[in-house]
Structure 1
Amino acid sequence: MAAALRKILTFGSMLLPYGVHELKRRLNNRHKFSADVARSLAENRQLAGLHAGERCFILGNGPSVKGLDLSRLQGENVITVSNGYLHSDFDKFQSRYHCVPQITYGLMTPEDVIRWFNEMHSHLGGQELFLSSTEAELVQKNNLFAGRTVRYLVLGESFDERTSDEIVDISQPVPRVESVPVMALMIAMYLGFKEIILLGVDHDRFLSSTYQYAFDLKVQKGKDFTVNADGVLTRGRHDEFQQLARLWRQYRAISNIAKANGIRVFNSTPGGALDEFERRPFQTWFEE
């Protein structure tokens, strides 16, 4: 009964303005991927438990990061996301992995994505890159990320339809995400990390009605359809809260998976609204 109700609510949310666009995208891309992506998924099995027992930091792009000394991450396992290569101290700590979720096309055109990916490639060091399979064809056709290890995730079903507390297997289609830290959390768990620390995962724009970053965007500047040129939200509270409800359910599912598998997830973001994980100040991770 509960599962059926979740499916009804999920479908209902698709009737919202952004939901209509998202529903079309899901129908067009539902588990549809090339032989190359299928091979890439199979290769993801090599990653299972690669960092067993270690800790990692997932670095988001929220403005709270401005108050952190990111140079302290040097020597740590760091997963950055989206435009995270623009962090002021990025060259000092150099992340191990970099994640980009499925891209919403509209203001962001395929040509924009090519320019963004080229910018990304020029700033990243030797990081392995995780993309959504929806961008695989564009990457291959335009010979993007030459010489870099690029892995794909097939972001297919909904967390609402997933009943298992097993670690998400990224060599198979995985639940789609509302925000890239959820993607990074799935990857970190599959890699075997036993302590995962979130930084800059603010998720508080519903309180401020603005969406800011810890840095100035370059290629992606002005390409987010949910905010205007000043970073002020363009959609109303109703639509915003529907998206947040989906996002928080994903974090709750991740939290349950972590607990069932002996993984500890901490939120060391200064401030922010995310309340699904234990809080711990950033500096305490570096105390003797």
Structure 2
Amino acid sequence: MSFLRNNLSNKILFEATKNILTRNERFRDIHKGESCYIFGNGASIKYFDIEQFNDRITIGCGLLFLHKDFKKLNTKYYYTGHPFFYYPYWTNPYSKSFERNTLGSIYKSNIFEHRDIEYFVSLTNYLGLRGKNINYLYHYDKVFTIKEGSDLTGKYTFMDSALTGMLGIAVYMGFETITLVGCDYASTPKMSGHFYEYGKRKLNDKKFIYSEKPLLAINECVNLRTVTINDDFTGDIVNEIDYKTLMKQELNYSENNEIIDSSALIALDKTNMNYRIFSEK
């Protein structure tokens, strides 16, 4: 009975918000045949000179805009798929407590600072984040599909992770060659942590494929590869290319306090999200 009730509620919500979603039609095949970078937030970014990736459009996510060289990228699009994320209070996924949403405030301030970028957010945030460059995605109770699921004007099924969210957007826009940067779970062994966290963590050699169904489906219709820090890493499903081979330059590791402003690091440390921002963590 609850399934039927939820299904009916979702259908009503979808019909009521069609006009909002239809606005996304303007992105269909807008970059047909082009190439792009998809930037995650993985720790491998600490080894890269990201300015070298400015030769094509970037689709970003998460806290990428905190990187000191973010403005040197050609970032046109940005994905933040967290539901109910842009409100003053939220249920923290780590503490499980209902508290002031300090992390959402960090995102909001950076979104307002970079108004030249088109943002894609969950439809649940419609009342929390508005603007001409804010675009909404509907994602309720739908099983993943490659064709209908990548339709930004419909029931978007690419939202199980930031990586799949960005991939679905890229496919809808018509990109045919996609290079993953900082998407460290797309290869093995897997690098843990984020570029904005302190230190180096142990590699994870466990065999598991992240976002397997979307990667398998997308790998069939576009040229997809992931950038690794060296040739010790092998792509899961997708092809891999190491940074030195791609950019013809050596790796140069930078700690988080070298690539992110100290005030931003202090703010992240206060988000109660279990981030390892400073060495004592």
Give the TM bin, normalised by the shorter chain: 0.5 to 0.7
Gap change, CA 1:107 and 1:167, over 3 Å in 2: closer
Letter of the structure 2 residue corresponding to residue 151 of structure 1: N
2:181 maps to 1:199 = yes
| Aligned partner of residue 127 in structure 2, secondary structure | helix
| Aligned partner of residue 50 in structure 1, secondary structure | coil
**TM superposition shift of 1:177:** 2.6
Q: TM-score, normalised by structure 1?
A: 0.65
Q: Which residue of 1 aligns with 2:39?
A: 59
Return the match for 2:138 from 124, 148, 154: 154
Matched residue pairs, number? 229
2:63 maps to 1:78 = no
Give 1 or 2: higher strand fraction.
Answer: 2
Measured in 1, the distance between the counterparts of 2:177 and 2:214 equals: 17
Measured in 2, the distance between the counterparts of 1:199 and 1:155 equals: 25
Q: Which residue of 2 aligns with 1:265?
A: 224
Q: Which residue of 2 aligns with 1:88?
A: 68
Question: Is the 8 Å Cα contact of residues 155 and 175 (structure 1) preserved in structure 2?
Answer: yes
What are the ranges of 5 or more consecutive residues in structure 1 without an aligned counterpart? 1-22, 141-145, 218-229, 233-240
Gap change, CA 1:72 and 1:36, over 3 Å in 2: farther
What are the ranges of 5 or more consecutive residues in structure 2 without an aligned counterpart? 94-98, 249-281
Question: Is the 8 Å Cα contact of residues 158 and 168 (structure 2) preserved in structure 1?
Answer: no
Question: Is the 8 Å Cα contact of residues 51 and 72 (structure 2) preserved in structure 1?
Answer: yes
| Aligned partner of residue 268 in structure 1, secondary structure | strand
Gap change, CA 1:185 and 1:27, over 3 Å in 2: same
Question: Is the 8 Å Cα contact of residues 21 and 152 (structure 2) preserved in structure 1?
Answer: yes
Question: Is the 8 Å Cα contact of residues 98 and 128 (structure 1) preserved in structure 2?
Answer: yes
Question: Is the 8 Å Cα contact of residues 155 and 173 (structure 1) preserved in structure 2?
Answer: yes
Q: TM-score, normalised by structure 2?
A: 0.67
**TM superposition shift of 1:150:** 0.8
Deviations 1:21-67 (A, max 9, x none): xx9xx889845647884223111112111001100000111110111
Measured in 2, the distance between the counterparts of 1:165 and 1:35 equals: 20
Give the CA RMSD over aligned residues.
3.9
| Aligned partner of residue 71 in structure 2, secondary structure | helix
Question: Is the 8 Å Cα contact of residues 142 and 155 (structure 2) preserved in structure 1?
Answer: no
**TM superposition shift of 1:125:** 4.7
Return the match for 1:131 from 114, 121, 127: 121
Q: Which residue of 1 aligns with 2:196?
A: 215
Measured in 2, the distance between the counterparts of 1:54 and 1:36 equals: 34
2:96 maps to 1:106 = no
Give 1 or 2: higher helix fraction.
Answer: 1
